[in-house]
A and B are shown apart, each in its own frame.
Chain A
Amino acid sequence: MNRLSRGAEAVMPPPGRRSRAGVEATLLVGGGIVAAITVLALVSLVWTPYDVGEINATERLATSSARHWLGTDKFGRDVVSLLMVGSRTTLLVGLVSVGVAAVIGVPLGILAAMVPKWWGEVLMRANDLLLAFPALLLAIMLTAVHGQGVVTAMIAIGISSIPSFARVVRSGAIGVMKTEYVVAARAAGRRPIAIALRHVLPNVGSLVIVQASVSFAIAVLAEAALSYLGLGAPPGTPSWGRMLQEGQELLFVAPRLEVFPGVAIALAVLGFNLLGDGLRDHFDPRLEDRR
């Protein structure tokens, strides 16, 4: 950093309450939880303690033991194995729905920032309309049309996450469009498409990553809710939301069947939220000089 910009930082208000060390800790914890879930899901592809499709009537509702660390459910299926396979559904739904939302929402946000102001407003009001539409209602509608399934849930969650991407990206892109390097690109004769791809997109990239992380947390929760209501994963597809639903009738007999998937969902949401928070602070230019 040269002398000039250091002078500029000196007059800026001191960076927020959180120190660089606090940000690192948030990133580490959030990233750690997310990494742990990812590893569990990957391991479940090749190995689980027990086959989750196997129904074992002799070991129904077993409590924690050396054989079944977290016990078994009402069909005698191993809870650890169910949680591991369920994390696959959680991650898949999160990835695809965030992907759908980003692929549509990011170009929409950039477009809304680059077209004349009036058109941008029209786009954003349409966006608000989608934002006001409850995700659950959308999921019920899609289920009614296309039937219950993980794909339906992913698309419903994805569509309802579009507005938040469009909003965040638009506000960032408006800032980028005002910078002198974009004016310089126009003066150099760059076409709008090239400006969008080469200047705007790379400079809103950090916003997109943060939003993806936050949206992922929301998607995890939404998938659990939809599966719980029977609008997501069909019977036979292990999912944390389904585990909650199946354990519900035994709430007073075996409360642990609710507690374990509940804790898993809470941990996953916490992990992605912390990761998003950490990344946002990590990209905060006011903390940049201490990186």
Chain B
Amino acid sequence: MTDVAISVRDVVRDYRRPRTSLTKPGSVVHALRGVSFDVARGQRFGIVGESGCGKSTLLRIIAGLDQPTSGSVQVGGVEISRLPERRLRFLRAQLQLVFQDPMGSLDPRMRVRDIIAEPLVAQGHRDNISRVHELLDAVGLQPEAADRFPHQFSGGQRQRISIARALAPDPRILVADEPVSALDVSVRAQVLNLLDELVQRLSLTLVFVSHDLSVVRHVCDTVAVMSRGEIVEMGPIGDVYDTPAHPYSRQLVAAAPRLQAALAGRTAAVLAAETLAARALSSNASSRNAVSRNAADSDPKPTPPTPEQTTPPPKDAP
């Protein structure tokens, strides 16, 4: 199985809430309840779900920044879920992250040059300035940007810096956590196109997390829909988008703001009417969901997706 970049098996992550009583332990939150999937080399894998569904926890575990309570995670065939942080150096060279908040993910007291060179310095490289200029060029920024501080850039530019930093150690896998959610709609498409182009040019494997299905559709070929710590549906993006099988996916599709439409120059009135229609649709979906949730009480598993829409990972994988 050499063409599998990331393999996630039955990953469970429980958090214990801080105790509220002296005698009783704090209650347990199940952030992830047995998540399994494979990402093939070169695949563009999207993960969608509402906030709090566990997608960021999943990302942190894949990136080796958090440990699963149980289950296994392999990146490039190496098990990472039990390794201490100091033994993850191979992972840092292979897998890099782009974060959501373009302000918060760049140290305000460091120059862009030092920010971008950070993964290089951490891996023992010296004299990185030419590499920094090369990276700035790759993300469409001027070389002069290297000497400035993050607050001197706009949100979109800062996200480009963040992407340049992620690409610095020449990783094979790029993990993006809601990289455009904090950006203006007008800048979103530019940053998405940049990501798209870089993933293509450097033949990277992409894991892209978003709450916005239309954004995922823009860059990904496969999508997993997450709800309450589980993957409820998984398949090629077109299929899930056009004929969502799970009620939750339907709700997501209905509620997704229409980026394409907005970019196509629809007027505010048209968009407003569409939003109203979408809202009506989604409230229908949520009442349907309520019914199915009642039905699911007797059966704790979510509605099984149709076979052709899922790529169930083999349970007996080596």
The residues of A with any CB-CB pair to B shorter than 8 Å are 1-5, 179-181, 183-191, 194, 198-199, 202-203
A-B contact pairs, 18 of them (CB 8 A): A3-B184, A4-B154, A4-B183, A5-B103, A181-B104, A184-B97, A184-B99, A187-B63, A187-B65, A187-B92, A188-B96, A188-B118, A188-B122, A189-B89, A190-B118, A199-B110, A202-B110, A203-B108
**In the complex the two chains form, what is the Cα distance from A142 to B103 in whole Å?**
49
> Is residue B182 contacting chain A, with contact meaning CB distance below 8 A?
yes
**In the complex the two chains form, what is the Cα distance from A4 to B181 in whole Å?**
12
User: Could you tell me if B106 and A194 are in contact, using CB atoms closer than 8 angstroms?
Assistant: no
Given contacts A180-B105, A183-B65, A187-B92, contact A4 B119 (CB under 8 A): no
> Is residue B100 contacting chain A, with contact meaning CB distance below 8 A?
yes
- B interface SS class: loop
- Ranked 7 nearest A-B pairs via Cβ: A189-B92, A188-B119, A180-B105, A189-B122, A181-B107, A180-B104, A202-B109
Task: Give the chain B neighbours of A184 by CB distance below 8 A.
Answer: 97, 99, 105-106, 118, 162, 165
**In the complex the two chains form, what is the Cα distance from A5 to B96 in whole Å?**
26
The total of chain B residues at the interface (CB under 8 A) is: 35
- A interface SS class: helix
User: Could you tell me if B119 and A189 are in contact, using CB atoms closer than 8 angstroms?
Assistant: yes
Q: Looking across the interface, which residue of chain B has its beta carbon closest to that of A180?
A: B105
User: Could you tell me if B118 and A2 are in contact, using CB atoms closer than 8 angstroms?
Assistant: no
> Is residue B244 contacting chain A, with contact meaning CB distance below 8 A?
no
Assuming A4-B182, A180-B104, what are 8 further A-B pairs, CB within 8 angstroms?
A2-B154, A3-B184, A179-B105, A183-B105, A189-B122, A189-B123, A190-B118, A199-B107
Q: Looking across the interface, which residue of chain B has its beta carbon closest to that of A3?
A: B184
> Is residue B170 contacting chain A, with contact meaning CB distance below 8 A?
no
**In the complex the two chains form, what is the Cα distance from A183 to B177 in whole Å?**
12
**In the complex the two chains form, what is the Cα distance from A3 to B157 in whole Å?**
13
Task: Give the chain B neighbours of A203 by CB distance below 8 A.
Answer: 107-109
Task: Give the chain B neighbours of A5 by CB distance below 8 A.
Answer: 103
User: Could you tell me if A187 and B104 are in contact, using CB atoms closer than 8 angstroms?
Assistant: no
Task: Give the chain A neighbours of B110 by CB distance below 8 A.
Answer: 198-199, 202
Tell me the B58-72 residues at the A interface (CB within 8 Å).
63, 65
